[in-house]
Each structure stands twice: as C-alpha cells, then as structure tokens.
Amino acid sequence: MQKINLSAVLGKKVNFGVVFDLCAKAAILLLAVFIMVYSSFDRLFAFSPESKEPTLDELEAGAEELPPAFRDIIFEREYPLGLGIYDTIFADETVTVPKGELKISSTDLSKNPMPDQIYFKNKTAYDISISDFLTAYGASLEASKNEFDMSQPLVLIYHTHGTEGYAEEGKVSYSASNLPRSTDTSKNVVAVGKYLADILNANGIPTVHDETMHDNGSYNTAYTNSAKSVKEYLKKYPSIKYAFDIHRDALVGESVVYKTLTYDESTPTAQLMFVVGTDEAGAANKSWRRNLSFAVNAQHFLISRLNNIARPMSIRRSAYNQHYAPIGALIEVGTCVNTLAEAKAATEILGEVLSGMILSGVPLYGE
C-alpha cells in the first residue's frame, strides 16, 4: 500500500507535534463545555451516598437525627462536576495542596438566573408552582407599609449549628476530617448572625440575637435545643414575627471542597441558600407555604440586587423549626471554606433585602 506524504499534499512541512497538541486542547475544551452544559441537569449535581451513610429518607427526616460522624453531611449533596473539570483544565499550577487534603475550589451554583427566575429543588411530594408564591414581582422595598410596633423585638436570629466555622484567609486546602468548626463566636457562623442583627437594628428593625451554639457538645440534639430556645424567646417577646436560623453549608467532593462565590462585583461574595421546611415529615408546620413565599420573594430581591448571589432554594420534608414563629427561615451563608469576609459580604446584601421586605410590608402567599 502506498504511503501518503501529508507534507507533500499540504505543500509545506507539517509539525505533527503542534497539530497533536492543538487537537488535544480542542478536545479537552469541547469536553469541558459539554460537561458544563450537561451538568445543569440535577442528576450530575447529586451523588449517591455510600451504604454506610444515612439513607436519603433518614437525611430528610431531620438533621437532628444524624449521628455525630455525619455532622457535615450537606443538604443538597451537590457535586459541581462540570465546573470541577473546568477548574482542573485551567487550574493554577502554583497552588500546592498537602498530601491527603482537599483542595479549596471556587464555584458558582446559582445557575445564573434572570431577575424574574427563581430556581429551586423540591425534595417533597408536593406539586409546587413557584410563581404562585412570588407575590412581590415588580414591587419596591422603599415604601414603608408595615404596622409593627417597633418598640419591641421583631426579629430573632439564632443558630442551630453555631459551631459551623469558616476558612482562614489564605488557606488552600483542608483535611476532610478537620473542616472548619469553632466555638469562637467571633469566627464562626455566630459572627455572621451578629453582623446580620447589627444591620437590621441599624435599619430600625428591633432584632435580638441568640448566640447559643446549640450543637456544642451534642450535635444530635441541636434542633431540639434550638427549638427550646426559639420557644423561650417567643414567650419572652411575643412581638417577634421573624425567626432566622443562620447556617453555613459544606460541599465536599472526592478531592476538593467547594466554596460558593459570585464574581458579579469586585468584592468576593459567598452565595446564599434558603432551606424551606414543610409538614411532609410529620411536623405541625401548617404555615410552611407562607415561609416559602417569604423565601421566594427574598430570593427575587436578592438576585435583583446581585444576580448570582443565590443558589437554588431547597424545599424539604422536615420543618427545621420554621413552624414556631409567624415567619421562619433557614439560610445557608456560604460554605465551610468560604472566608468570614466573603460570608459577611453576602450577609450585608441579605440584610439590605430582609430590612426592605420587613419595612415595606411585602405581602405574602395567602394574604
């Protein structure tokens, strides 16, 4: 068989090394783009728990039932595969990660919503149309319409998992067995709650902040402990209309641990996620649709303020103590490897939105 001389056919010398290199790079980029597009499907954002871990039903039945070994199990089990591969291709090779540790990787899980889009993940059997709960579309947060008595506490901020910590500045990795936790309330999620309380108070909204770390010493009973505190505050201050449970998430892959960031402004800002409980797991949470409406409207105003600041909200079977106050919300502020500064940057925007919603008297579902 006669051999074909490509150099002769093309009329010039062919550098096969260069051609191969270009083809390889093109193939990798095409693969990355394909996976990034395909990863928009939820099945690539979830990975199945190993058999030794609690089942999905056990996870959804209530975080207070989790054994200590699973204290960092995440709500969404999200694994941003496409972004992970993209980061691998364009990784900063100068970052050296100690052997056996998880590399900190930045990712955007917002799904890049339009101003009128509210992304969510419904983990219940309820047929939910989010548009039914978006009651404030086109509304303004400026006009004051509320009729609350501002001489008494109106908002309670508390922390079911108060020892949840944030990454130290400059860290590039963490051990899977030593993800950030702290009892120092100037460094953990309690500091974020205090910052939010300060913003609300500065805007004229009377807010009390419970700095109790309800998981300190007994993670399994954290939700039971925080429920007791919430009920005590409501008994002491019956004027409280809003109870916000502030957390941070944990997103752990095989070799990386993810921080969530939005790059829509110059200040690195952690992403937020609302976790909305229902009555499907048996709790007497009859006001969950009102709570969902509050979260949907808050997310609407958040993404209007900063497009990629909110991850899709998670609608769950359990109540997560959101059924005690007239309006309850569980808000995840960043992840365990976001820095406290990134979490506070998100909290500043959250505080602006919550203040506006409360002061303007945004109507909710059923009102």
The candidate with the shortest Cα–Cα distance to 299, out of 262, 323, 273, is 273
Provide the pairing of β-strand 120-122 with 313-315. parallel
**Greatest alpha-carbon span in the chain:** 95
CA distance 325 to 308: 29
Say whether 344 sits in a helix, a strand or coil. helix
Looking at residue 32, its pLDDT comes to 61
- When the pLDDT of each residue in the chain is averaged and rounded to a whole number, the result is 80
More confidently predicted of 134 and 70: 134
Which one, of 211, 206, 230, 232, lies nearest residue 154 by Cα? 206
Query: Residue 341 corresponds to which amino acid?
Result: A
Q: Which amino acid, one-letter code, is at 345?
A: A
Amino acid of residue 16:
F
Q: Is the pLDDT of residue 108 over 50?
A: yes
Q: How many CA atoms lie within 13 A of 211 on its CB side?
A: 12
Distance from C-alpha of 56 to C-alpha of 60, rounded to nearest angstrom: 6
Q: Does residue 230 register a pLDDT over 50?
A: yes
Tens digit of each residue's pLDDT (9 = 90 or more) over 56-97: 444 444 443 444 333 333 333 343 433 444 444 444 456 688
Main-chain phi, psi angles of 338, to 5 degrees? -70, 155
Q: What is the mean pLDDT of residues 274-293?
A: 94
Tens digit of pLDDT for each residue in 286-312?
999 999 999 999 999 999 999 899 999
Encode pLDDT of 237-250 as tens digits: 999 999 999 999 99
pLDDT band at 150 (very low <50, low <70, confident <90, very high): confident
Determine the residue type at 313: M
For residue 163, give the nearest of 191, 140, 139, 135 by alpha carbon. Answer: 191
pLDDT at 257 over 60: yes
Is 54's pLDDT higher than 70?
Answer: no
C-alpha to C-alpha distance for 184 and 182, rounded to whole angstroms: 5
Give me the pLDDT at residue 214, please.
94
Residue type, 325: A
pLDDT of residue 225: 93
Percent of the chain exceeding pLDDT 90 equals 55
Please report the pLDDT score of residue 10 as a whole number.
Answer: 47
Element spanning 259, H or E: strand 256-262
Give the per-residue pLDDT at 349: 96
Q: Which residue has the tokens 């709500």?
A: 75
Phi, psi for 56 (deg, rounded to 5): -60, -40
Q: Which residue has the tokens 């502020």?
A: 333
The whole-angstrom separation of Cα 343 and Cα 269 is: 7
Q: How far apart are the C-alpha atoms of 264 and 127, rounded to whole Å?
A: 33
Q: pLDDT at position 87, please?
A: 44
pLDDT at position 112, please?
Answer: 86
Q: Which of 235, 315, 232 is nearest to 273 (CA)?
A: 315
| Residue range 314-349, pLDDT digits in tens | 999 999 999 999 999 999 999 999 999 999 999 999
More confident residue, 1 or 218: 218
Q: Within 10 Å of residue 304's Cβ, how many Cβ atoms? A: 13
* Gap between the Cα atoms of 181 and 164, Å rounded: 5
The helix (H) or strand (E) run that includes residue 174 is strand 173-174
Give the torsion sign (CA, 352, 358, 361, 365). positive
Task: Quote the pLDDT of residue 141.
Answer: 75
CA-based Rg of the chain, rounded to a whole angstrom?
23
Q: What is the pTM of this model?
A: 0.76
CATH dotted code for 106-360: 3.40.630.40
Identify which has the larger pLDDT, 291 or 3: 291
Query: What's the pLDDT at 219?
Result: 81
CA 210 to chain CA centroid, nearest Å: 21
- The contacts of residue 151 (CB under 8 Å, 6+ apart) are 206
Question: Going by DSSP bridges, is the β-strand pair 327-335/272-276 parallel, antiparallel, or unpaired?
Answer: antiparallel
CA distance 241 to 328: 8
